[in-house]
Amino acid sequence: MQSIGRTRTQSRPSRSVNLGGMDYPDPKRKGNFVGKVALAAIMTTVCILVLKKSSFNYATPMIQFSMREEGVTHVLVTGGAGYIGSHATLRLLKDGYRVTIVDNLSRGNIGAVKILQELFPEPGRLQFIYADLGDAKAVNKIFAENAFDAVMHFAAVAYVGESTMYPLKYYHNITSNTLVVLESMARHDVRTLIYSSTCATYGEPEKMPITEETTQVPINPYGKAKKMAEDMILDFSKTSDMAVMILRYFNVIGSDPEGRLGESPPPELREHGRISGACFDAARGIMPGLKFHSQVKGTDYKTHDGTCIRDYIDVTDLVDAHVKALEKAVPGKVGIYNVGTGKGRSVKEFVEACKKATGVDIKVDYLPRRPGDYAEVFSDPSKIRNELNWTARYTDLQQSLKVAWRWQKAHRDGYGTPSVMAS
């Protein structure tokens, strides 16, 4: 199988973006009005050419992605420019899959896509399409122009604290956008869905560990929106022969062991982001400490040290679970699995591990708990172990944080590329 290291561009709003550089000479400045108009016209033309470059340069890869090829599985990865989605894309490409990333870059990083394209530059392997899943026409066009065999649906806003502040945003981004994806899958006969869900759908169960049979009573908009999306998927699966896998995973940490990818959230979301990112920011002096981070709030929970207990899963293990789910997906069947280590760690324990991993004595000021949070959550991974032969391997919390810290130190400015584009 061959691969593509560059991208193709479609008309707005679903356009692919070329990531290769183009050198254009600067036109000479002229002091008169005509010169300024000419300059503006030239720059406008340059912008159009950059956005449409692939439409006349890469016709062959376009054909490869639009046709099914024996022995090649073409996977659409929504949110593939994000932290988890980019790691999943890397694993899929390593395993020989053909991948199309669709991402609006509101939370993802174009730099991550560029790295993936540099790693897999051959035609027919990887393409990136800039689009918003909330645009039904754009999504339908993407499905019409590409021969997808399966969808890994990662794209979603995913911060509990933020969801309590902007609930409607979460219902739209998670629930409504999943409906758009399902409708396009049905319309274009794409029959395999791997859905990235969350343990937040369980809420705060009375009994630990959490099994797949634990009653789902989410207590924040993030968990509620994810459960609604799950319900839609399950209802639709009853009237189709779709192969569905729903993975409810726990708190994600770590990064690519070879240092190619990492986590680089937008600066404005650091307060709502993962506690590992906040620890690293504090260790690098970007933040004065951890008192501003949402997950370090609360010391009055009913746990052994008063702080929240979570099940931390390494991103490498998480994407391995997604690939195994894809391999085991069966038409007309639904699989629902918890993805975790089966062991809970408190926030205080996590911070101590982060201090050791970074070698920095991170200052921590515990503030009152945040709304919509819960005291203790960890999984029982027995079902996924028995049915998919999956077991978490990267369970050394300090080592996972050490690997992630290496990437953070080497990429102080993240991927070094702005994660925003014109929309």
Q: Please give the full DSSP string across 102-148, using - where no structure is assigned.
A: EE-SSSS-HHHHHHHHHHS-STTSEEEEE--TT-HHHHHHHHHHS--
Q: Give me the helix-helix angle, 59-66 and 136-145, nearest 10°.
A: 90
Cα torsion 72, 119, 249, 235 to 10°: value is -30
Catalytic positions, written as ranges: 222
Q: 10 Å Cβ neighbour count for 283?
A: 20
**Residue 154 near residue 194 (C-beta atoms within 8 A):** no
Short-list 217, 246, 413, CA closest to 334: 246
Find how far residue 90's CA is from the centre of its chain. Answer: 12
* Tokens found for residue 86: 């980019």
**Residue 222 near residue 391 (C-beta atoms within 8 A):** no
Q: Which positions ≥6 away from 166 have C-beta within 8 Å?
A: none
* Tokens found for residue 363: 């200052």
* Tokens found for residue 45: 């033309």
Short-list 276, 271, 251, 82, CA closest to 173: 82
